[in-house]
Structure formats: structure tokens, C-alpha cells
Structure 1
């Protein structure tokens, strides 16, 4: 747990640095504008899709027969928001990991981990494949758990989805430049639960107004610090083991 809190504390510190001020806001602004435009263009199609989903859970016909149209419109608006938020979140995270992550890794490594040698174990294609996989599972979690919203259990879905998305999306990119392929596998395998914990903790910020504007960059920074710190420890441990072997 100490590594999780250390990584988040370092991420908060880096948020205050002037050099990253320009990359804090633009990913979420671009994502929000993109989905607002798409929503306006395909508003009727989205409404029809929502009605189909409501019919699937057995309340679509009931809503259509209600005399108070504002109730139906209100429920549809709420569902629009429920769908809009994860779409904006996932798009912002993708923009961050593809376009912003390399700059953040460079800044964090230069300041906090200047001694780490770059092994370039990750690749651009690997990053893209990982992003597609993370996005697909994230969307699948939301889609297959829609019925749970009707019984109130859906309140936990956003946090589970955010935890998965964060740890799956950022753990690879945080290490891809500095770690070798084997080091990436070792760190991810040996810190599976910690990565999920960090994913959940950073995911909480995505649902707090105002703070959610900083959440994608904060998440990226936290995973960079977490990954590079474990890489430093792993290499130190390997050096120690090599010395013991040579001495014997």
C-alpha cells in the first residue's frame, strides 16, 4: 500500500509543476466536445437505442404510456448522462495514453528517475493493442451490467470499470520506454493487486466534479511513478543477486 500512496503523492506534486500545465485540460476538453458533437448529430438514434434498452429491462412500455412526458424525458436524459460520462472518460484516457503519456514519462523520469536506463521493451503497436483491449473490456463491462442499474447494484460498476481501465491502460505505457519486455511482465505479474488498488484509487477522482478534469493526467502520473519505482527496485535486486552469485 505504501507504494500506492507514494505514487499518488508524487502525482499530486507533479500536477503543480508548470511544465505540465498545458497538458492537464486539453484531453478532456477535446473528448467532451467530440461526444457533444456526436450526440447532437445522432441524438435520435441514441434515443431509439435507449428505448430498446429500456424495453429489454421491462420499463420501456411503461414509460411510453405515462401521461407525464417530463418524467420520460428526465429518465432518458439521465441515461444519456450515464452513457456520456464513460464515453468521455474512455476517450480522454485514450488521448492521454497515446498523445500525452510519452511527454509525462520523459518529465517524470528526468526529474525523479534519471539513473534508469531505457530498454524500450514496449512498442507503439503494443500500446495500441493494449489500448484497444482495455477499451473493449471497459465498454463490455458497462454494456453487460446495464440490467444491474435497475436493481441498484449498478452503483459499483463505474468504480470496477475505472479500476480495470486505469491499471490495464497505463501500466504498460508507464514502463514501455524504460523497461525490457521481461521486466514489464515481471512487474505487472508481481504487483497485480497493487495495480488494481492504484487503478481504483485513481478511478475515484474521475467521479469527483472539478477534480475529474485532472483525473486522466493524475492517473498517468501515478502509474508512471509506481512503475518506474518498481523498475528501479527490480534492477537493484537483480544487481544484488548477481553480486551474491559472483561472490560464491
Structure 2
């Protein structure tokens, strides 16, 4: 079975556990608080700012004021959603991921030996560094919003990148050696980014989107640990481990 579909199916199955839900809800609630606060204080200013910037300003000058206001409002909401999502991802990476990883690895993946390093500091640094790069990348690519449709695609791209950069590393740091992590990233680059993109799209679903970062953490644990299990059980695993010992 495709590893991504298998991981998503197992993630849905994990939602039947009460403890999993307790972990999932914390970032969602905090993201809701951040979203509400930013909306109250910044949404009007963001909309006004976007109305004065191209291409929305051009559309307004052509007389399509309703369309210009709609696009500016949509852009403002997307920016606020990205900010709230960033907060939720960082919290999920720092607070939720270690607890979920301990829960699932001791049960569902008890046969996957821990060969990595248990470092809360490294995981926290990874989450914060990913958040900084996410912000920097978003700012540097703002001029590309002038391209029609880019304003809708770019936030999804950066959210997908943030998911992969944050959760894939955290899901494997405790179990995989550096060589195994490099090999998994090479073999499953498309699946890891595709999972991040799926969760980025999910983040735009009302209410359910608030759970997207926590659900991403859950799905990445299932994806990465299953991929590591398959890597070690493959016929070439012995040769791979010898070469990278």
C-alpha cells in the first residue's frame, strides 16, 4: 500500500484515542486565540494596505471596486491565517510532537529501534529555524504575488514546506541515524512534501483547519516511522547499514 495513504489511514485510526485528542487540541485552541486577536487588531489595516498595492490597486482603478475589496479581504485573511498557522506549527513541533511520538512509537512502532538522538533542544531549534525561514521566504516572494494566481499558490507552498521541514525532522530525529534520514528524504521527498501540501490545504477548511498542524504532526509520525521500518526491513538494509555505520 502507498506509504502516504497508509499513514493517513493510520492517522484517522489514531483519532479514536482520547489521549491523542488531548494533544491535538492544544495548538488548535491557541491558534484560534491568535487568529481572533490578529483579526481584531490587524485585519482592517491589512485590507487597506492591500487596496493600495498592485495588483489590487490596478483593479480598483479600473472601476471593479467590489472585486478589489474582495481580493484585498481574501489576501488579508490569508496573511492572518499564515501567521496563526505558523504559531500552531511551532507549538505542535515543540509541545505536541514529542508526546505523540512517545505514544505511537511505544505502541504502533515498538519494533522500530531508536538509533537517533533524543534532543529537545535540537527539535526546538529546528522548529524555530523553520519558522524563521518560513517568514523570510514569504517576505522575499511577496513580489511574485503580482503574478495572477500566485497569491493563492504561494501561501500553500510555504505552508507545505513548513510542515515538511518541521515535522519530518522531528518525527525521525529520535529513531533514525543521519544516514537513514538522508536516505529517507531522498526516497520519499515527494511524499513528504505532498503530505505537507495536503495539510496546508486542510488548514483552509473552516474550524477543521485549526487542527491541521497537530494532524500534520500525527501524519508525519506515521509516515516517517513506517518509511524507516520499510527501509530497515528491505533486502538491501544490511548493506545500507554496513556502508553507513
Q: CA-atom RMSD, angstroms?
A: 3.3
Q: Is the 8 A contact 1:51 1:60 kept in 2?
A: no
- Are 1:142 and 2:144 counterparts? no
Q: Offset of 1:63 from its aligned partner?
A: 6.7
Aligned residues: 238
Task: Identify unmatched segments of 5+ residues in structure 2.
Answer: none
- Are 1:152 and 2:149 counterparts? yes
- Are 1:115 and 2:101 counterparts? no
Task: Identify unmatched segments of 5+ residues in structure 1.
Answer: none
Distance of 1:92 and 1:179 partners within structure 2 = 25
Q: Is the 8 A contact 1:4 1:226 kept in 2?
A: yes
Q: How does 1:39-188 map to 2 (within 5 A)?
A: 40=40, 43=42, 47=45, 51=48, 54-57=51-54, 77-121=73-117, 123-143=119-139, 144-145=141-142, 148=145, 151-188=148-185
Q: Is the 8 A contact 1:162 1:199 kept in 2?
A: yes
Give 3-state SS (helix, strand or coil) of 2:234's partner. helix
Q: Is the 8 A contact 1:97 1:173 kept in 2?
A: yes
Q: 1:31 to 1:214 in 2, by over 3 A?
A: closer
Q: 1:73 to 1:152 in 2, by over 3 A?
A: closer
TM-score, scaled to structure 1: 0.79
Q: Is the 8 A contact 1:121 1:176 kept in 2?
A: yes
TM-score, scaled to structure 2: 0.80
Q: 1:207 to 1:78 in 2, by over 3 A?
A: closer
